[in-house]
């Protein structure tokens, strides 16, 4: 029922603008309005803070269905979870009430600030500093590759509070867009997901109250990594949706396109391509849903789980599958697939980022190797 209702909404309110959003590189406001009106913009927020209280699997299904028609729009629910999950996992009760409530109501979006110009895969090498000044912290630094920067009101920012301790000297804070000293760089000119702004976030003597620290001092990096265990699954969901959209379009096309006096879908070579695409997609979906179930059990305090392995595996496998499936979809459309008159070239461009962000797939393989299931 959830999938059917989200799909109907996406087909009616989001799909009609997807090509335009990509072509113009503009934020998909229509999608935000539709998702917010139907309480789908941040479904993961617990009911106790005014949210829908969706579990990890329901959140995956929402993101998957939005991504099926517009990958840029799927970053609204996905990044709202990424940005706010550190608060949900480690924040004080006061912090949760203050920031999860407006997010649930649709009054604000949340972004996640971990990467820096010189700290990508080596996130612990960050240089952004937070210095204590009485009842305040003063933040200085630059964060790069921040999804929905400039649109979001709230930002989870990782900063060094003790340079001697490397990862154990990093703390997490909530920074607000309106805080004095916060500014943004120009939007990046990207290959795909052009409707989701990616910008640098500049912190210039940003002075925030001490109670905006998320968790204890020095626990920020651990919170960041714990967050990614859960949210890599949302990137897998995005990859699933993109791949499903490409497969659906290609299936329809090969039944209509005639060559040699019959639909090209009647040729065995084409049928085998579609079979492989569907097989990879279903394998990725099952792995992603299994990871979502583990995420939910961990969130509910269900004891130790091999979530780190499964989150990395789902993200890595689903994104690799999405890249292969969208590339094959372009191939099935031939010359038409290479033009912007058809959606599969957009889907192929959008799929590429799922292999890169929230940890490259090379990093995912390192994570998996270090956390092999027992």
pLDDT of residue 305: 83
The verdict on 207 and 236 lying in the same domain is: no
pLDDT of residue 374: 83
In tens, the pLDDT along 168-200 reads: 999 999 999 999 999 999 999 999 999 999 999
The verdict on 137 and 67 lying in the same domain is: no
What CATH code is carried by the domain that includes residue 328?
1.20.140.10
pLDDT of residue 119: 96
Is-catalytic flag, 324? Answer: no
The encoded tokens of residue 174 equal 């909530």
CA–CA dist 51, 367 (Å, integer): 32
Domain-ending residue, one of 105, 121, 152 = 105
The verdict on 185 and 56 lying in the same domain is: no
CA–CA dist 72, 63 (Å, integer): 11
Q: Which residues share a beta bridge with 158?
A: 172
The verdict on 172 and 66 lying in the same domain is: no
What CATH code is carried by the domain that includes residue 95?
1.10.540.10
Cα–Cα separations (whole angstroms), residue 192 to 202, 347, 352:
24, 8, 8
The verdict on 197 and 261 lying in the same domain is: no
CA 26 to chain centre: 18
pLDDT of residue 42: 98
Extract the residue ranges of the chain whose pLDDT is less than 50: none
The verdict on 239 and 363 lying in the same domain is: yes
Cα–Cα separations (whole angstroms), residue 209 to 55, 71, 214, 215, 318:
32, 36, 12, 14, 41
What CATH code is carried by the domain that includes residue 122?
2.40.110.10
The verdict on 69 and 168 lying in the same domain is: no
pLDDT of residue 50: 97
The residue range of the domain holding 58 is 2-105
The encoded tokens of residue 202 equal 């500049």
CB of 21 within 8 A of CB of 70? yes
CB of 13 within 8 A of CB of 65? no
The verdict on 74 and 120 lying in the same domain is: no
The CB-side HSE value for 195 (13 A sphere, CA atoms) comes to 27
Q: What are residue 154's phi and psi, to 5 degrees? A: -115, 145
pLDDT of residue 88: 98
Domain-ending residue, one of 68, 87, 105 = 105
Give the chain's domain count: 3
pLDDT of residue 302: 81
The verdict on 28 and 135 lying in the same domain is: no
The verdict on 123 and 148 lying in the same domain is: yes
Three-class secondary structure assignment of 191-224: CCCCCCCEEEEEEEEEEEEHHHEECCCCCHHHHH
pLDDT of residue 166: 93
The verdict on 236 and 364 lying in the same domain is: yes
CA–CA dist 79, 147 (Å, integer): 7
pLDDT of residue 290: 97
- For the four alpha carbons of 19, 22, 24 and 26, in that order, the dihedral sign comes to positive
CB of 224 within 8 A of CB of 123? yes
CA–CA dist 54, 322 (Å, integer): 25
Domain-ending residue, one of 105, 137, 168 = 105
pTM of the model: 0.98
Q: What are residue 359's phi and psi, to 5 degrees? A: 95, 120
Choosing from 64, 200, 296, 358, the catalytic residue is 358
The verdict on 228 and 319 lying in the same domain is: yes
Q: What are residue 55's phi and psi, to 5 degrees? A: -80, 180
pLDDT of residue 126: 98
């Amino acid at each position: 029922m959830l999938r059917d209702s989200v799909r109907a909404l996406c087909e009616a309110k989001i799909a009609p603008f997807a090509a335009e959003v990509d072509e113009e590189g503009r934020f998909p406001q229509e999608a935000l309005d539709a998702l917010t009106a139907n309480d789908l913009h941040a479904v993961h927020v617990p009911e106790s803070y005014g949210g829908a209280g969706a579990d990890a699997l329901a959140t995956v299904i929402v993101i998957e269905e939005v991504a099926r028609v517009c990958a840029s729009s799927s970053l609204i629910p996905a990044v709202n979870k990424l940005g706010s999950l550190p608060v949900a996992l480690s924040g004080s009760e006061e912090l949760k009430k203050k920031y999860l409530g407006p997010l649930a109501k649709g009054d604000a979006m949340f972004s996640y600030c971990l990467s820096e110009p010189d700290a990508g895969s080596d996130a612990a090498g960050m240089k952004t500093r937070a210095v204590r000044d009485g009842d305040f912290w003063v933040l200085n630094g630059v964060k790069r590759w921040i999804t929905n920067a400039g649109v979001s009101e709230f930002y989870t920012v990782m900063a060094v509070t003790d340079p001697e301790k490397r990862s154990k000297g990093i703390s997490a804070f909530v920074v607000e867009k309106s805080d004095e000293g916060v500014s943004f760089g120009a939007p990046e000119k990207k290959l795909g997901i052009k409707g989701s702004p990616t910008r640098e976030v500049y912190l210039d003597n940003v002075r925030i109250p001490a109670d905006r620290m998320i968790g204890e001092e020095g626990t920020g990096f651990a919170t960041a990594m714990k967050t990614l265990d859960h949210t890599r699954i949302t990137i897998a969901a995005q990859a699933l949706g993109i791949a499903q959209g490409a497969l659906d379009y290609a299936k329809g096309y090969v039944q209509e396109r005639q060559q040699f006096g019959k639909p090209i879908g009647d040729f065995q070579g084409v049928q085998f391509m579609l079979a492989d695409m569907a097989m990879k997609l279903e394998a990725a979906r099952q792995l992603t849903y299994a990871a979502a179930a583990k995420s939910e059990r961990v969130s509910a305090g269900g004891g130790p789980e091999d979530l780190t392995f499964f989150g990395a595996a789902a993200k890595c496998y689903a994104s690799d599958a999405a890249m292969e499936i969208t590339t094959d979809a372009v191939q099935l459309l031939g010359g038409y697939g290479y033009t912007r008159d058809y959606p599969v070239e957009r889907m192929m461009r959008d799929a590429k980022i799922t292999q890169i962000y929230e940890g490259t797939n090379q990093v995912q393989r390192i994570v998996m190797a270090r956390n092999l299931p027992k």
